[in-house]
Amino acid sequence: MRLLVVGAESLVGHALSRLLTAEQVEFRELASVAPAAASKAGLLGAFTLHTPSVVLNVADANGPVLADQNAEAAQACDEYHAVLPAHLAEACNSLGIPLLQHSSALVFDGLKAHPYTEDDAVNPIGHYGKSKWQGECAIRQQTARFVILRTDWVFSASHPEYFTKLVAACGEKQGRLPLMNLRFSPTPAADVARVLLAIARQIDCGAEPWGTYHYCAQPPLTQDAFAEHVLQEAAKLDPALATCLAGFQIERQPVLPPFVPNSVLNGQKLFETFGIKPRSRGQDVADLVAVLYGKTARQRLPVSGGAQQ
């Protein structure tokens, strides 16, 4: 198996590169170029040079909030999430190469009470989600040999801003935090990479499971429950934070776009097709927090105060 990874600079791309190296899988990373310049001829040349058995596109631009606030960020989303997948799909179709595309739960509006299935109606409310959906549509129009994997919010120690801000805010506000009342399934980038590699391996073995699939780490939870989990892990390393958690209190705020009330995905189809089971995010959260404090998971201190898990 020989893989070509597009978007290796993204959170999932970094995790995928590490995993492929550790698993001794032969792969190449396509040099980052402006999607508008990634012509079919250029991509065909790269594909012919590297002769991949599967192309994996994990390119990502900016975040959902910035895309709705900044015209340049919105344009970058359009180029990386819509234009680039269209060009990749066209080139893949010309050479008969399967395309494995990472997408987002934000193609949904979040109004459904239960986890979203692949058959649910799409209705993105933010520019980020709209650009992801446009990319999906372009792929479906250009090639039949594709797998689109949607996941919920992806986190990684390489970009821990959410976690550092959460810990700082808890200390500054003495355990009282305003958080949006949403339900989601934060998923480690390394876990997404694991799933993508498992799919690629089955495609390389001749499986033809073309279509769209969902995956997210377990369990689904509210943002306040996730925040409490993160802070409890941090409190094991931070006695001052543990004291703040004794008065832990969440002020639930309305969910504002581009975020949605529910972005939980149902991964049953993925399990039935590929046999891929969802994993817990617990250890990944603990390890990320440990890295924030310059430690490893094995160096965590005993729990004290209000930090019991």
**What residue segments make up the domains of the chain, in order of their start?**
2-159+186-219+263-279
Q: Stretch 175-183: mean pLDDT, rounded?
A: 95
Pairing status of strand 221-222 against strand 183-184: antiparallel
Q: Indicate whether 214 pLDDT > 80.
A: yes
User: How confident is residue 32, by pLDDT bands cut at 50, 70 and 90?
Assistant: low
Q: Return the H-helix or E-strand segment holding 89.
A: helix 84-95
The pLDDT value recorded for residue 270 is 98
Q: Return the H-helix or E-strand segment holding 272.
A: helix 268-274
CATH of 2-159+186-219+263-279, one of 3.40.225.10, 3.50.50.60, 3.40.50.10260, 3.40.50.720: 3.40.50.720
Report the alpha-carbon distance of residue 308 to residue 242 in Å, rounded.
9
The pLDDT value recorded for residue 39 is 75
Cβ neighbors of 163 (< 8 A, separation 6 or more) are 155, 230, 234, 288, 289, 292
Q: Stretch 90-111: mean pLDDT, rounded?
A: 97
Q: Stretch 252-277: mean pLDDT, rounded?
A: 97
Q: Indicate whether 302 pLDDT > 70.
A: no
Q: Stretch 131-158: mean pLDDT, rounded?
A: 97
Q: Indicate whether 289 pLDDT > 60.
A: yes
Separation of CA 154 from chain center? 3
The pLDDT value recorded for residue 303 is 36
Per-residue tokens: 129: 């989600």
The pLDDT value recorded for residue 76 is 92
pLDDT digits (tens, 9 = 90+) for 41-57: 888 888 999 999 999 99
Q: Indicate whether 216 pLDDT > 80.
A: yes
Q: Indicate whether 169 pLDDT > 90.
A: yes
Q: Return the H-helix or E-strand segment holding 168.
A: helix 161-172
Q: Considering the chain, what percentage of its residues have pLDDT values greater than 70?
A: 93
Per-residue tokens: 116: 């979203």
Q: Indicate whether 253 pLDDT > 50.
A: yes
Q: Stretch 185-213: mean pLDDT, rounded?
A: 98
pLDDT digits (tens, 9 = 90+) for 66-78: 999 999 999 999 9
The pLDDT value recorded for residue 220 is 98
Report the alpha-carbon distance of residue 123 to residue 54 in Å, rounded.
29
Q: What mean pLDDT, rounded, does the chain reach?
A: 92
Q: Stretch 121-137: mean pLDDT, rounded?
A: 98
Q: Considering the chain, what percentage of its residues have pLDDT values greater than 90?
A: 85
The pLDDT value recorded for residue 295 is 85
Helix axes 84-95, 40-50, angle to 10 degrees: 50
Q: Indicate whether 251 pLDDT > 70.
A: yes
